[in-house]
Structure 1
């Protein structure tokens, strides 16, 4: 069997084991949250009636021991059933199918901007080490890492929408346009599939400001990591040998320097994308973006345990998939990883 195939099989088996661990951790942590879901979901009058309380606990399986609740939870997961949300009274899977694409679209746009600008800035800073442009980009990266995202979101919304009125307001698309027929749940993609360029332009306009706000931190992070990785590779003997052979600078940069520096860059990018998905609550609240962050916040405040576990499971699976993709890219980029 080829080394790359063995490498992939090991990673997939490990991912399956980790997926089971995610279900266990999300279930245990959710049930350790202080508070009584009965009190959070029933009114005071109903809460004073023991018969109503007992019936509600029985309907939601809270009258059984925790280990039985976990087995029932696993059985439902195998069948694709994440339970019923106590706040929307709909299947959690249906709620997540509605809210997750919005967050994926926002985080995807943010990570795409971050990769393009962060890697470009890091390469420029490394190639122009200790020059004015290097110092300026390092200051910019420090600002991006240091500025709180929620504060930046408030300032951006106030300045660009309220004062200058050059960006759209809240939501994913103009209310007058409605939305494209749902296919993927991504407004930009669905608008293109439907041939609705007006909806596509509106969706992109609504996406720009929150995506740039989310991307600023990741741009700063990637700029610093890319600069360090490129500087380390530039000092290697094979780069000096390539220069001594008279190879063009562009060839040296793309074939030798960037390929060797991609491993730490991919690692940071993968972790950043996962953190963007799970950390968009405040940005989504400020821009009224109907994503998983808002759904998770409302579920947590009402102690909607099935919804909280569903969100935790989705975020954990996303991290798992990202790590699997990163591991695969390791094997593709660096042959030494496949042989270990």
Structure 2
């Protein structure tokens, strides 16, 4: 298993090179004049000889190969230009908004996987029963509903049912004795022992989390149900039934672990879907995250902000896929074991 993980890690530089090359190709295709105007925004345009300095710094007058390596060097050091949308540098905008998106993703992903897989197993326990029909109907509706439609329905529904639920993000600027450690209000409220802020932030996250859960748990439900129905036909399940093991024990002890394997396998795809949904959900619920920054940058055609957000999302996807592969190999040790460079199952 260790050699496999090492091999996967050795592929990271190649994958990172391909991703950065694609992003740079999009940036470079804008032309030096457009890029110069983009880099001239903010405080950069106020310094003396700003135009000549920026051209030299970013290699705008050099061949594409030289410009690529200059762009990579500047990106690594956090110099990705200025974002008019965020009124700050692109790196500062990403750093300040990423924790808000991450806490939303984590809070949504946990129930999506746990509840979705649990309901799928429950439905497969009695196929075509009441639970299977009810859960199956709602999963079809949830999977067929786009993120932005579900978000709008929940937004309107919360107003009708509860008078209004809080949206956006809490402002802690006026709170005394508040220390911001991570830019995540959930973590910082715990570190500051302000559990009233924690509860308020969880209330603000209720609607976007529910939106992502209703849409994406449907996918996990369908995969879990189909896998569970297939595993129930296997020989070792028949053997367990012949020994008098109850159907509930079979489903919870023997089937559940095998159901997690395909769920983990599509973890990277699920994470990508969640990140795509953030663009709509954060905009509708006024969340100050990466999705909303990406949407505003796309509307304003800010190529530098867009490239920074895309690089962050690509880096997250690479990391998630590595973690998924490692978890996958732990769940099923027969898979992805390497012996002298040859995979064996």
Q: TM-score, normalised by structure 1?
A: 0.86
Instruction: Go from structure 1 to structure 2 and tell me whether the alpha carbon gap of 1:193 and 1:260 turns closer, same or farther (over 3 Å shift).
Output: same
**Counterparts of 1:146 and 1:334, CA distance in 2:** 32
Q: Which residue of 2 aligns with 1:7?
A: 4
**1:60 Cα deviation from its structure 2 partner:** 5.2
Q: Residues 181, 73 of structure 1: CA spacing in aligned structure 2 closer, same or farther, 3 A cutoff?
A: same
Aligned CA distance change for structure 1 residues 10 and 56 (closer, same or farther; 3 Å) = closer
| 1:25 is the counterpart of 2:22 | yes
Pick from 271, 275, 278 the counterpart of residue 276 of structure 2: 278
- Report the equivalent of 2:310: 312
| 3-state SS, counterpart of residue 82 of structure 2 | coil
Distance 1:298 1:98 in 2: 16
Give yes or no for contact 2:83–2:90 (8 Å, CA) kept in 1.
no
Structure 2 gap ranges (5+) = 42-48, 338-342
Matches within 5 A, 1:14-163: 14-32=11-29, 36-37=34-35, 61-78=59-76, 80-87=77-84, 88=86, 90-161=88-159, 163=160
Q: Counterpart in 1 of 2:238?
A: 240
Aligned position for 1:47: none
Q: Give the 3-state SS of the residue equivalent to 2:335 in structure 1.
A: helix
Partner of 1:297: 295
Which deviates more, 269-278 or 57-66? 57-66
After superposition, residues 215-230 of structure 1 pair within 5 angstroms as: 215-230=213-228
Sort the Cα spacing of 1:89 and 1:83 in 2 relative to 1 into closer, same or farther, 3 A. farther
Q: 1:205 to 1:152 in 2, by over 3 A?
A: same
Per the TM alignment, residue 38 of structure 1 is displaced from its structure 2 partner at its CA by 5.5
Partner of 1:46: none
- Conserved 8 A contact 2:83-2:89: no
318-327 vs 62-71, which moves further: 62-71
Partner of 2:44: none
What SS is found at the alignment partner of 1:257?
A: helix
**Partner residue, 1:205:** 203
Provide the rounded CA distance (Å) in 1 between the counterparts of 2:175 and 2:247: 50
What secondary structure does 1:164 align onto? helix
More displaced, 227-236 or 170-179? 170-179
Name the structure 1 match of 2:46: none
Matched-pair contact (CA < 8 Å) for 2:123–2:135? yes
Q: Secondary structure at the match of 1:279?
A: helix
Give the distance between the partners of 2:139 and 2:206, measured in 1 at CA: 20
Maintained 8 Å contact 1:82/1:310: no
TM-score under structure 2 length normalisation: 0.85
- Residues 117 and 259 in structure 2, CA contact (< 8 A), matched pair in contact too: no
Alignment check: 8 A CA contact 2:139 2:221 kept? yes
Q: CA 1:331/1:231 → structure 2, altered by over 3 Å: closer, same or farther?
A: same
Deviation at 1:170, TM superposition (A): 2.2
